Structure formats: C-alpha cells, structure tokens
Amino acid sequence: MKIQIATVDAFASKAFSGNPAAVCLLENPLSKSEMQSIAMEMNLSETAFVKRTETPGVFGLRWFTPTLEIDLCGHATLASAFWMFESGWAQPDHSIRFETLSGELIVKKTGDQLEMDFPLIPTFEEIHPFFKESFMGKRIFRSAQLRKNWIFELASADEVENLKPDFDLIAKNSEEGIIVTATGKDSFDIYSRFFGPNVGVPEDPVTGFAHCALMDYWSRHTGKFQLKAYQASKRGGELHLEKHDDRVILKGNAVKVLSGSLEF
C-alpha cells in the first residue's frame, strides 16, 4: 500500500517552529491498528488521517498520538487542511468540513492564515487532589478541570515559561494532561504550556484543543472574547482565538517541511 504523507508545522510561520503533525491522505481505508502503527512510526504528537466521503467538500478525519486515538486535535486539523489545500484535495476558495469524534469541524483559508471553527470546551473550577496549592514548585492561583485534563493558573508568563516539569510525577497524578497558564506578556494576552505524558506527549509544542478550554477559562475571568495566545514550549507557537457562543475560532499559519509517500 502507498499513502501520500506530509509533515506540516502548524501554528507556525517558519519551518521548525510551531507543532509538527504528520498528515496521511487516504485513497483506501485503513484499520485502526494500521493507523496506530503509522502514528507510532511517525512518532510525532499527532498523526492525522483524512479520507473522502460521498459528499463533496466533506472529509473524515481521525487523530492518533504514538499510543492512542484522541477525540480532538487542533494543530493536526490545521496541518491537514493546509496539506489538502496544497495538494489539491481541497480548493482554497471553499471551506473544508471534517467529520470527527468531536462532531463537524470547519476550516477555511483567509489570506495567508487558516481559520478553524471548533467547539468551546467548558471548564469548571476545582482543586486538584494532588496538586492542591503548587505545581512543580510554583503556586497555583486558580485551577479548573475539563474532561480528563486540568488547568493551573500561575503567577506570571515567566513562571509558565521557566517551569521545569517532572513528567513521572505528572503521569502519576493526571489522566490525560495538565495545562499551565498565566496572563501573557509583550503582545500576548495569555501564555500556556501543555503536558500529556499519559497520552504519549510529554510536552506538546502547540495545542489547539487546550486553547478551546483556555478560551472558556480566560473569557470568564477577563470578559475578553478575543485573545492572542502564545504556547511557550521550546518550539513555541502563536494562536489567535475568538469566542462565539459555544464555539471557538482558532487562527494560525502552517508550513510544509516534508512530503512523500509511505509504503507498507
């Protein structure tokens, strides 16, 4: 079998920044175990699999980490749409509609950016059973829960940026992941980082799904419905967020760094 594949840096305006994702464009169906094996082989935080449906402009989309399938991934969706526009699977003047485990997701091209319409993820203020007052030696000012993940608000963007994670400790005291965040600096409204050792991603470079929750969290605490966000990983990444009722618009750039075929 031969499959078109590309590696795309998402939420990035230059190569080797943002969050890399592998994108497979499928002419023929694959089993779940085959997709998981490819994701393990690619060994990126996410590998996306796109297939056509009987409806023009509508595509199936699934995401796999090296260890499991997940139900929502922003950067691999951005990467998928970018590669589809580049390769001719989709037309730049039409929106792409993805059928996913999180419902329908819509991506369109606006100038040199891609704009994704995602569900807002509700957050609920809770105290973590283990990280009650501090996280990696940093005081937690507020904490919130979402699905199987947590948000910890720290004192400053510098604390977020300089935090040194203990991945074994995080893995023992989390289900999926932990988001640390703070009020931003320079031109950014918010800073964040995401740690998910239990889903095969010790630290994710840029996390679209996390920002669907951070938009809910920060809009409740600041009253803002538009945010410029920076994920302060080693690679770094920029996102523009807009809240519209129970939806979040995420805007970003992407860059292709590798394309070819996968044979097995």
Q: What is the pLDDT along the chain (264 residues), one digit of tens a residue?
A: 999 999 999 999 999 999 999 999 999 999 999 999 999 999 999 999 999 999 999 999 999 999 999 999 999 999 999 999 999 999 999 999 999 999 999 999 998 899 999 999 999 999 999 999 999 999 999 999 998 999 999 999 999 999 999 999 999 999 999 999 999 999 999 999 999 999 989 999 999 999 999 999 999 999 999 999 999 999 999 999 999 999 999 999 999 999 999 999
**Residue 123: predicted pLDDT:** 98
**Residue 112: predicted pLDDT:** 87
Q: Which domain holds residue 210?
A: 124-244
Residue 213 has which token pair? 């929750």
Residues 182 and 74 grouped into a single domain? no
**Residue 147: predicted pLDDT:** 86
**Residue 221: predicted pLDDT:** 96
Number of domains observed in the structure of the chain: 2
Contact (CB, 8 A) for 48 and 221: no
Separation between Cα atoms, residue 34 and residue 49, nearest integer Å: 11
Q: Which of 158, 159, 112, 162 is nearest to 12 (CA)?
A: 112
Residues 99 and 25 grouped into a single domain? yes
Q: Which of 207, 183, 204 is nearest to 121 (CA)?
A: 207
**Residue 69: predicted pLDDT:** 97
Catalytically active residues are: 46
Residues 220 and 143 grouped into a single domain? yes
Could you tell me the CATH number of the domain that includes residue 180?
3.10.310.10
pTM assigned to the model: 0.92
Residues 150 and 64 grouped into a single domain? no
- Span between the terminal Cα atoms of the chain, in Å: 5
- What letter represents residue 227's amino acid? L
Residues 133 and 82 grouped into a single domain? no
Residues 106 and 145 grouped into a single domain? no
Residues 107 and 179 grouped into a single domain? no
**Residue 82: predicted pLDDT:** 97
